Amino acid sequence: MAYKDMRAFLALLEKEGQLKHVDVPIDGRRGSNELQSLMNYVCSKNGPALILNNVSGYNTQGVPIVFNPFGTRERTALTIGHRDWREAKLHHAAVLGDPSRWIPPKLVDRAQAPCKEVMIKGAENIALDQQLPHVWFGKEGPAYITNAITFSKDPENGGRNAGWYRFTQFRDATHPLGGSYPPERAKRDLAAFYWWNPPFSDIGRHTFKASQMGKHLEVAIAGVCEPAMHLAAATGCAYGADEAALAGGLRGEALEMVQCETVDLQVPATAEWVLEGEVIYEETEAIGWHSNPVGYYDRVQVFPMVRVKCITHRRNPLWHATMEMVPPFDHNYIGLLPVEAEVLADLRRKIPEVHDVAVTPNMCYVVQLSVDGAAKPHNEFGKYVIHAVWGSAGRWGRTAKLVVVVGPDVDPYDMDSVEWAIMTRWQPVKDSLVNPSGPPMVLDPSCEKSAQFGAFRSEQMGIDATIKIPERFTEYPEVSKADPAAVAAIAKKLAGVV
C-alpha cells in the first residue's frame, strides 16, 4: 500500500480506531512535562496513536503533536501495507534483498509539492526558536527534533543517502557541562546526531569526506514524511544505496520528491517540514541530557552543527514528537522491523536453513533455524550462523552484542522459549563464541567512548542453543510439550468454564 503522506496513514489508523484525538491538557513544559509518562502508559498497553491538541508550555500552539503512531507491531507493519509483523518483515527482507524491485523516486514540480506551501528563506528570516515546535520529554536537557530524515550526497560521487537522525534545538537548552550556548544557536543552528568522528553511519562518512575536502556538507532535513520513507531511512542499506528507491519498492509505487530551494538535494514532496542547510563540522557543542534507545540518559555527547538557511512547510502542519527510553516506546518497532529484515535478508541469501530473525527491544538477536540436531547441514552449524550475523551486510548485524541461535521448535519472539533452549541445549564454554573487539551499538553505555562520547568498540557473544547432534550426541531426549492443536481443542471444550 502506498500512502500519499503521513496524513493518509493517520487517517487509516483513525478509521480503524487506532488513533484518538486528545484535548485533555497535557503538561509539556521543560522540567515538569508529562510526555514521558504518557509514552510509557500508552506503549506498555499497546495503546493507540494520539493527536495531542492541548499541550501546555508548547511554543507553537495550533500545531498538533502526533504521538505514538508506530507504537505496536501491527501499526508498524501497516506502514508498508501489512497487518502481520512477520509478513511485513518478509516483504521488507525480499525487497531489500532484490534491488530490481526498488522503484526510483519521481521528481515533481515545486507547485505540486505540499511541503512548499510556506517558505522562509534568508538568514535574517530564520528563527528556529519561534518557527519550529519544541517538545520536552523526561529529564532531557534540550528539546529534540525526533521526526526528521536527513538527505545528503556523497561529496565524491553524488550518491544519495537518507537516514533518520535526531537533532538538538537550543531554545532554553541546558548545557550538560554547566556552560552556556551562544544566543544565535537557538535562532539558526541544530546539533546533529551525526557520528562522524569516527563515522558510524553513511551521513557520518559523508560528513567525514566533506571535512577531508575542506567543504561543508549540504543536507536537507525532512520531517514527518510518508511512513515507508521513514522505514527505509531506518534500514541499514549498503553504502551508496538509495533509500528513496527502497521506499518506492516497499510501498510499491515511486515516492514523489521535489528539488530543494537552497541546496542541491531532493526531499519527499509531501513532508510536513523541510529544513535546508549545511553541516558546520568544525563547530561542535556538548549536548545532554539525551534519553537513548537502550534506556539510559546520555549525560554528554559532542555533535557538529547544522546551520539552517531555509525552512519550508505545509499549511497547518503536523509535528511528530517521540522519545527513546527503556522499551517499549513509540518508534521502537519501526526501528526493529528493518533491523530484523536487514539481517534476515542477508542470512537467507547465504544460508537457506535460516527461518527467521527476531530482535528484542533491547537488541538481543535471536536466529531461528528451520532444522536442528542431525538435520543440520554440518557440525557446529550454530556457530557458523553466529559468525554470519556478525559478518552480515548492512549497518546492524555487525553490532549485535548478543546472538542466540535456536531450532525450529523454539519461538524466537518468546523469551521464555529462548531461555528454555539456552538452559537445556547450551554449555557456556563449548557452545559460546566471544569476540573481544567488535563494532558497538553507538549508544551502549557500557562501552569505551570515542571523541564524540559515543561507543567506540564492544565485546560480543554468541550462544549456540541448538541440539548438539552430531557435536556431542547421537540422540537427544524427546521434548515433552503439548501439541498446539490439542491445546486449541481443550480451550474450545472449556470455553466459558476456565
Question: Is residue 380 scored above 80 in pLDDT?
Answer: yes
- For the residues 127-151, what does the mean pLDDT come to? 97
What distances in angstroms separate CA 45 from CA 71, 145, 296, 337, 416, one per listed residue?
10, 25, 22, 20, 20
Q: Are residues 316 and 359 in the same domain?
A: no
Residue 304 has pLDDT above 90, yes or no: yes
Q: What is the predicted pLDDT for the residue at 312?
A: 98
Using pLDDT thresholds of 50, 70 and 90, give the confidence band for residue 240. Answer: very high
CATH number of the domain residue 435 falls in:
3.40.1670.10
Inside any domain, residue 287: yes
Same domain for 174 and 289, yes or no, is: yes
Domain with 133 in it: what CATH number? 2.30.110.10
pLDDT at res. 99: 96
**Do 118 and 185 share a structural domain?**
yes
**How much is the pLDDT for 357?**
98
Same domain for 373 and 314?
A: no
**Domain match, 286 and 164 both:** yes
pLDDT for the residue 443 = 87
The single residue listed with the C-alpha cell 546539533 is: 191
What separation, in Å, do the N-terminal and C-terminal C-alpha atoms of the chain show? Answer: 41
Instruction: Say whether pLDDT at 420 is over 90.
Output: yes
- Tell whether 143 and 278 lie within a shared domain: yes
Q: pLDDT tier at 115 (50, 70, 90 boundaries)?
A: very high
For residue 57, being part of any structural domain is answered with no
Evaluate whether residue 29 is within a structural domain.
no
- State whether 243 and 189 are in the same domain: yes
Dmax over Cα atoms in the chain, in whole Å? 77
Q: Does residue 377 surpass a pLDDT of 80? A: yes
184, 123 Cβ separation under 8 angstroms: no
User: For the residues 344-368, what does the mean pLDDT come to?
Assistant: 96
pLDDT of residue 120: 98
The mean pLDDT of 478-490, rounded to a whole number, is: 92
| Within a domain: 230 | yes
Q: Are residues 185 and 314 in the same domain?
A: yes
Note whether residue 145 is domain-resident.
yes
Considering the domain architecture, whether residues 99 and 175 belong to the same structural domain is answered as yes
Mean pLDDT of the chain: 96
pLDDT of residue 229: 98
Mean pLDDT of 133-138: 96
| Average pLDDT score over residue span 368-395 | 96
pLDDT of 203: 97
On whether both 385 and 267 belong to a single domain, the answer is no
In a domain, 188, yes or no: yes
Q: 469 falls in which pLDDT band (50, 70, 90)?
A: very high
Residues 364 and 295 in one domain: no
Of the pLDDT bands very low, low, confident and very high (cuts 50, 70, 90), residue 394 is: confident
Question: What was the pLDDT predicted at 278?
Answer: 98
Average pLDDT over residues 220-248: 96
Output the pLDDT for position 1.
Answer: 72
Residue 498: predicted pLDDT = 84
What is the domain count for the chain? 2
The residue-averaged pLDDT of 442-469 equals: 94
Per-residue pLDDT tens digits for 270-300? 999 999 999 999 999 999 999 999 899 999 9
State the Cα–Cα distance between residues 372 and 381, nearest whole angstrom: 9
**Radius of gyration of the chain, Cα coordinates, nearest whole angstrom:** 23
Residue with cell 562522524: 196
Q: Classify residue 449: in a domain, yes or no.
A: yes
Check pLDDT > 80 for residue 372: yes
Q: How many residues does the chain have?
A: 498
C-alpha to C-alpha distance for 440 and 456, rounded to whole angstroms: 6
Cell 510439550: give the residue: 481
> 404-418, pLDDT tens digit by residue?
999 999 999 999 999
Residues 223 and 271 in one domain: yes
Q: Residue 45 and residue 38: Cα distance in Å, rounded?
A: 11
pLDDT digits (tens, 9 = 90+) for 213-223: 999 999 999 99
Range of the domain at 286: 85-320
Q: 123: pLDDT confidence band, cut at 50, 70 and 90?
A: confident
Write down the pLDDT at residue 71. 96
Report yes or no on 162 lying in a domain. Answer: yes
